[in-house]
Homo-oligomer: A and B are copies of this chain.
Amino acid sequence: MKPKSTAEERLIDPAPEAGPFRLEAFLPYRLSVTAKRISRAFARAYAERFGLTIPEWRVMAVLGTSGPLTAAAIVERTAMDKVKVSRAVAALEAKALVLRRPRPEDRRSALLELGPAGRRVFEEIVPLARALEAELTAVLGPGDRALLAALLGRLDAHLAGRGDPALDAGDPG
């Protein structure tokens, strides 16, 4: 750690030594740990009560609040890659939660939508997901929760802008 740096030095050295490296203060690490913890809690809840994985839940989540979508549209809205979406949809079809409606005008893709059973499960999950979210983020008041969302939003926009390849997302949900 250098003694205090002058304004000039700061211009030259944009990332001044901030003392010894501490993993627990490293933002990417912190973000990962927190996200994973929350992810787990949700994964467990969805699995236990509905037999769903997080990718499956994400697909249902978007289909629950939109008209029928193609797989590609789901990819866009869930930040998952197409392999994951493909598998999640296949699983949901097998459970009769999602229906596939072929499109004569383009037989490569089909429109996907919640079936009656899927709709019921969706209606049941949403309040649960909201409650769990509220419970897990209880330490933050509504204000800080919004603040966190805003910060993540800015960060995300930045990251999405930086032409990074695959845009998939881990697990939570």
Interface residues of A (CB under 8 A from B): 14-15, 18, 20-42, 58, 61-62, 64-65, 77-79, 126-127, 129-131, 133-134, 136-140, 144-145, 147-149, 151-160, 162, 164-173
Copies in the complex: 2
Identify which of B62, B139, B168 contacts A158 (C-beta below 8 A). B139
Residue of B nearest to A172 (CB): B32
The verdict on A21 contacting B126 (CB below 8 Å), with A29-B172, A149-B27, A173-B32 known, is yes
Distance between Cα atoms of A166 and B160 in the complex (Å):
31
- B residues within 8 A CB of A41? 159, 164
Q: Is B35 in contact with A31, judged by CB distance below 8 angstroms?
A: yes
Residue of B nearest to A170 (CB): B36
Residue of B nearest to A153 (CB): B30
Q: Is A31 in contact with B34, judged by CB distance below 8 angstroms?
A: yes
Nearest CB in chain B: distance from A57 CB, A: 9
Residue of A28, A138, A148, A156 ringed by the most chain B CB atoms within 10 A: A28
- B residues within 8 A CB of A64? 21
- Secondary structure of the A contact surface, majority rule: helix
- B residues within 8 A CB of A131? 15
Q: Is B152 in contact with A137, judged by CB distance below 8 angstroms?
A: no
The verdict on A30 contacting B147 (CB below 8 Å), with A15-B134, A37-B159 known, is no
Q: Is B149 in contact with A30, judged by CB distance below 8 angstroms?
A: yes
Residue of B nearest to A54 (CB): B32
- B residues within 8 A CB of A136? 28, 155, 158-159, 162
Nearest CB in chain B: distance from A2 CB, A: 12
Q: Is A156 in contact with B28, judged by CB distance below 8 angstroms?
A: no
